[in-house]
Amino acid sequence: MMNVRAFIFMLFTPLILFVSSLVTTRIPNTFLSQHRGKRRNTPLWEMGKDFTMEISPISEWRDQTFDFVTSDDISLSKEINDGTILPRTVCLLPFPHHEVLLQGQTKEIRIYEDRFIQLFHKSLEDYGGIIGMGLLISESGIVKPIPLCKIESYQQVDGFGIFCTLRVVSRATLVRICEYEPYMRAICVEKVDLPIENEKMDLLNFMASNIENFVVTLSSLENQLKSYDNNDDISNEVRDLVIIDTYDDDMEDELDREAIYKSAVEDAKMADSQGYMVSPSSSLSCFDIGQKQRSIQDLTAISWAVFCSSEEKEDKTVTIRIQALDSSKLLDRLYMGLFVLREKKKYLEEKLALVGRRKRQQLDDN
């Protein structure tokens, strides 16, 4: 029964969630023309300076009340949650949708346009240092789910703008965009996972164990492919087959997938700002079947880290990351994570088999 459920979920959920994640209103062309071609990312280390500053936690933003929020917004927010989370205002910094970040991930950017510098200072002064990532899609659309980022550190340099590091600490669903000029401000409702049913703790731990096993397997397969790339005896034709674009070229010491995954788990836990409603006693039965016992916080961190263990930006991968951002069930997110890892394992095994055949053919020809 569980396998059937997983198959149905993986077959139909991507289409349903992706369609439901788009805002129906269009972004004005004037805003898009100003945005297009002007935004740029610049790593902080290129400036050769140290950027540190203590920033207020997300609780400051949560505790504020905002003038833009109307009674209609509150009514609409009840369709997104049970009405216990009130809508709030947030400044939106535009990003291409393929740059979507998940809990714990960071992004280093340079802000140099006057309007975005105004946005930055507005967020610091009135929004507790919280900025929403406005994920632009197609020519005039924006994705409903948005990552909520905390300004972790920054430095303003005369003549260069502001260099800052953003870290995702939560997520939200857009209700409406209330301002476009000089920058976007929107009404949003923070999104949290639904309470966990106690009897599902064993299943959650089982799926988390499978994810960790898959990550180890994928790391091994990728290392095997890399070993072919480092082999001087293979032809360029074979070497072209083993190029792996999973990781960022600037990744320090070229960490493998397992190391990146473990780091992503720790980052997700560090950035966790949610509370959890579950009885920990329900997970004691994990000992009966030899499973590792994990807290809900650990399971939630795994459900985010599984999508952060690579830097792939294929359309399918980006779509699933947006679906994960829009999810409200931990179990569903773990299902999606397993689906991604299974697909990647299948791809790597096929690629490794092809490289092996080409290698044997090369030896036979010699």
pLDDT along the chain (366 residues), means of 10: 46 42 52 49 41 61 78 76 82 94 94 94 92 87 94 90 94 92 92 87 94 94 78 49 44 73 94 69 46 86 90 78 93 95 92 81 69
The answer to whether 93 and 110 have CB atoms below 8 angstroms apart is: no
- Amino acid type, 308: C
Q: What is the pLDDT of residues 48-98, one digit of tens each?
A: 344 454 445 688 888 877 667 778 877 777 777 766 788 899 999 999 999
Tokens (6 digits) for 58 = 């997300």
Q: Which residues contact 154 (CB under 8 A, 6 or more apart)?
A: 51, 53, 120, 162, 163, 164, 165
Strand partners, 131: 149
Q: Is the Cβ–Cβ distance between 308 and 264 less than 8 Å? A: yes
For the stretch 306-316, pLDDT in tens is 998 776 667 78
Residues 219-238 have pLDDT tens digits of 999 888 887 765 545 555 44
CA distances from 123 to 40, 56, 58, 224, 256 (A): 20, 11, 12, 46, 36
Q: What domains are there in the chain, each with its CATH number?
A: 21-190 (2.30.130.40), 198-365 (no CATH)
Q: Which two tokens stand for residue 152?
A: 């972790």
To the question of pTM greater than 0.75 for the whole model, the response is yes
Across all residues in the chain, what is the average pLDDT? 78
pLDDT of residue 276: 65
Bridge partners of 136, per DSSP, are 96, 142
Q: Which helix (H) or strand (E) holds 174?
A: strand 161-179
User: Concatenated DSSP letters for 221-271?
Assistant: HHHHHHHHHT-TTS-HHHHHHT---SS-TT-GGG--HHHHHHHHHHHHHHT
Q: What percent of the chain has pLDDT over 90?
A: 44
